[in-house]
Chain A
Amino acid sequence: MSRRRVTWTFVALVVGVVIASILEICIGPMGIPIRQIVPDTIAYVTGQHSTDALVVGAIRLPRLLVALLVGAALATTGAVLQAVFKNPMSDPGVIGVSSGSAMGAILTIQLGISATRLWARPVGAFICGIGVVVLIYRLATVRQRTNLYALLLAGVAVSSLCSAIITLILSLSPLQTMEEMLFWLMGGLDGSSWSEVLLLAVFVFASLVVFLIIGWALDIMLTGEEHAEGVGVPVQRIKQLSLGICALLVAVCVSTTGVISFVGLIVPHLLRGFVGSTHRYLIPASALGGAILLSLSDLVARMAFSPVELNVGIVTACLGAPFFLYLLFQRQRAWQRS
């Protein structure tokens, strides 16, 4: 991939993030003029809580930042998992972490803990998400070697089990709790808070740094595990580290916003055409692309049927499912040709 093309892609992505951010803040039931964004933010920070300042500072800005951070997290996770599994159709769903986290969060709602303790839902999602990944990883690891096919199959099986448990809990729940669960299961960004922004920012930036450090090893692992070990890549350790961080990141995202699917699948796939498969470009590009996709999807979710607000997970699923089928179709054609 030519250096010039990579540079222009990054310029376009940064401009895209700025535009998406401005749109997300300005457009809504209550319009905010562009020139008012900075003064309203300053007013909110300095404690002058006018209506406009509250809308920008307390509602739209944290919502935008959560969208940007979760989008970045999901897309980079997708890029990393696609390298680890050597499968361009992998995304956070495949290692079961999404469904595991969802099950954990649903359990805390069902048990009534989440209503009284704010930390309960994120912690529940996090514990179950990590628990599922550890279980799947142990199932697929024999003699200190992880069989990726076994990992994928175990992921499918455990995800199905988690989904079954979620359905069971839903069907046994009273109507009001069920509504809360369904709303959360579909993934949404409403009610995003500054504390969530802070939590996500810490995890997302720390993970990005680690992903960039192991980026070269991920590049090499795409050539095959034996090749990678031959040049000195500690393949097993990189796999553990990548899967662990991906699980952590997705669990934090799911505990904050609910299940948002397909971002991790679409974004890295689209950007490979522009920046290539080298992870030192693909990871930051995916972070920016994911941020753009989720913030624009949220805008669509908020405005498409205004005043009714959709869950952002519905929008990403509507985009992602046809894209997944398109990928499947492309691969089948490639197989037929070969």
Chain B
Amino acid sequence: MSLLRLRDVSQQPILEPLTASFQGGRVVGLIGPNGAGKSTLLKTIVGLLPATGGDVQVDGISLKKLSPRQRARFISYLPQSIAEDIPYTVAEFVQMGRYSRAPIWASRTTHHRLAVKDALALMGLTALAEVPLQHISGGERQRAGIARCLAQESPVLLLDEPISNLDVFYQLDILTELRKLAAAGYLIVIAIHHLEFALRFCDEVVVLKDGRLYTHGSVESVFTRDMLAEVFRVNAQLFVDPTHHHPRLSLAPLGANDSTNTGK
């Protein structure tokens, strides 16, 4: 059974009605050129933008009538960036993920403390727990954001471009962690610009173009030369890295002569 189901979800005029379903234990990449509607789709799924139509279901339960607090128990969401001037420690920030589960007077009980401790440990942040967020690196801050989502104990994690502001070390680090979380049963949906990383780290891919669902499927079926040419306007060569055995992409801007061969 699908863990996350979108039925004709729309956000007019930016996003046309979109239907798709996803199972747990997978990393789903949401790709598309700038302005395709990736962030809008994520915000609509999580309820930050009220959908102009359609329905989102998690585990068969419609999120339409739920309060923000109830909804947060099903889906956690991490925006594109975490501000540098947040005046809290890593542990305090991660503990905020317990908001939907614990009333203020119970947020420090053993169960909730354990959930925070586990989330910190899972993201390798135990040693930084009492360090102010202002004093850690961008990659560690992003880890703290994911730990906050984990403390929320929701089965679905939506991450809006979690690696876009990071150096390559942290990009690989975060994506590797996300794969581990998917292996533990979470459904991870990430908006991602880096096509090669999407190809390498995602199980399936949703492609958006001009606010419409272009295609959705396994990475192998979606990443075709035609799709890349038509959606991203690039001439692509797919190959396997002979050293690391990772799927790779060689990309070049689509020339004027190539545009005639992009029919799907």
A in complex with B: yes
Alpha-carbon separation in the docked complex, A216 to B108 (Å): 12
A223 with B83: CB separation less than 8 A: yes
Binds B, one of A11-19, A154-162, A224-232, A241-249: A224-232
**Shortest distance between the CB of B202 and any CB in chain A (Å):** 22
User: Restricting to B82-114, which residues have a CB under 8 Å from any CB of A?
Assistant: 82-83, 86-88, 92-93, 96-97, 99-100, 104, 107
Chain B minimum-CB-distance residue to A277: B87
Q: Would you call A220 an interface residue if the criterion is a C-beta within 8 Å of the partner chain's C-beta atoms?
A: yes
**Shortest distance between the CB of A284 and any CB in chain B (Å):** 14
Q: Would you call B10 an interface residue if the criterion is a C-beta within 8 Å of the partner chain's C-beta atoms?
A: no
B104 with A230: CB separation less than 8 A: no
B88 with A231: CB separation less than 8 A: no
**Mask: chain A, 210-225; 1 = CB below 8 Å from B; 0 = not:** 0001011101101110
Chain A minimum-CB-distance residue to B99: A231
**Shortest distance between the CB of A87 and any CB in chain B (Å):** 12
A232 with B104: CB separation less than 8 A: no
**Shortest distance between the CB of B77 and any CB in chain A (Å):** 4
A231 with B107: CB separation less than 8 A: no
Residues on the B chain within 8 Å of A144, using CB: 50
Residues on the B chain within 8 Å of A224, using CB: 79, 82-83
Chain A minimum-CB-distance residue to B80: A226
User: Restricting to A137-182, which residues have a CB under 8 Å from any CB of B?
Assistant: 144
Of B48, B83, B88, B92, which contacts A229 at CB under 8 A? B48
Q: Count A/B pairs, Cβ under 8 Å.
A: 78
Q: Would you call B120 an interface residue if the criterion is a C-beta within 8 Å of the partner chain's C-beta atoms?
A: no
Alpha-carbon separation in the docked complex, A144 to B149 (Å): 26
Q: Would you call A112 an interface residue if the criterion is a C-beta within 8 Å of the partner chain's C-beta atoms?
A: no
A226 with B48: CB separation less than 8 A: yes
Known: A230-B46, A232-B68, A234-B69. A276 touches B107 (CB 8 A): no
A233 with B83: CB separation less than 8 A: no
A234 with B86: CB separation less than 8 A: no
Of B87, B88, B99, which contacts A233 at CB under 8 A? B99
B86 with A222: CB separation less than 8 A: yes
B73 with A232: CB separation less than 8 A: yes
Residues on the B chain within 8 Å of A232, using CB: 67-73, 99-100, 152
Chain B minimum-CB-distance residue to A227: B79
Q: Would you call B26 an interface residue if the criterion is a C-beta within 8 Å of the partner chain's C-beta atoms?
A: no
Q: Would you call B47 an interface residue if the criterion is a C-beta within 8 Å of the partner chain's C-beta atoms?
A: yes
A216 with B107: CB separation less than 8 A: yes
Chain A minimum-CB-distance residue to B93: A223
Residues on the B chain within 8 Å of A219, using CB: 88, 92, 96
Chain A contact residue count (CB 8 A cutoff) = 24
Residues on the A chain within 8 Å of B93, using CB: 223
Alpha-carbon separation in the docked complex, A232 to B76 (Å): 9
B99 with A234: CB separation less than 8 A: no
A216 with B99: CB separation less than 8 A: yes
* Residue of A220, A234, A276 with most partner-chain B CB within 10 A: A220
Alpha-carbon separation in the docked complex, A65 to B48 (Å): 44
Q: Would you call B181 an interface residue if the criterion is a C-beta within 8 Å of the partner chain's C-beta atoms?
A: no
B72 with A231: CB separation less than 8 A: yes
**Shortest distance between the CB of B104 and any CB in chain A (Å):** 5
A220 with B104: CB separation less than 8 A: no
Of A220, A227, A231, A235, which contacts B82 at CB under 8 A? A227
* Residue of A222, A223, A224, A234 with most partner-chain B CB within 10 A: A223
* Residue of A226, A227, A232, A276 with most partner-chain B CB within 10 A: A232
Residues on the A chain within 8 Å of B148, using CB: 231
Q: Would you call B78 an interface residue if the criterion is a C-beta within 8 Å of the partner chain's C-beta atoms?
A: yes
User: Restricting to A45-68, which residues have a CB under 8 Å from any CB of B?
Assistant: none
Residues on the B chain within 8 Å of A234, using CB: 67-69
A217 with B99: CB separation less than 8 A: yes
**Shortest distance between the CB of A15 and any CB in chain B (Å):** 27
Known: A234-B68, A277-B87. A216 touches B76 (CB 8 A): no
Alpha-carbon separation in the docked complex, A63 to B53 (Å): 58
**Mask: chain A, 65-104; 1 = CB below 8 Å from B; 0 = not:** 0000000000000000000000000000000000000000
Residues on the A chain within 8 Å of B87, using CB: 222, 272, 276-277
Q: Would you call A114 an interface residue if the criterion is a C-beta within 8 Å of the partner chain's C-beta atoms?
A: no
B97 with A226: CB separation less than 8 A: no
B107 with A230: CB separation less than 8 A: no
Residues on the B chain within 8 Å of A215, using CB: 104
Alpha-carbon separation in the docked complex, A231 to B78 (Å): 9
Known: A216-B107, A224-B83, A277-B87. A229 touches B68 (CB 8 A): yes
A231 with B100: CB separation less than 8 A: yes
Alpha-carbon separation in the docked complex, A213 to B99 (Å): 12
Of B67, B96, B149, which contacts A223 at CB under 8 A? B96
A sample of 19 inter-chain contacts (CB < 8 A) reads: A213-B104, A224-B82, A226-B77, A227-B79, A229-B47, A229-B77, A230-B72, A230-B79, A231-B72, A231-B96, A231-B97, A231-B148, A232-B69, A232-B70, A232-B71, A233-B68, A234-B69, A276-B87, A277-B87
**Shortest 5 CB-CB distances between A and B: which pairs?**
A232-B72, A232-B100, A230-B77, A232-B69, A277-B87
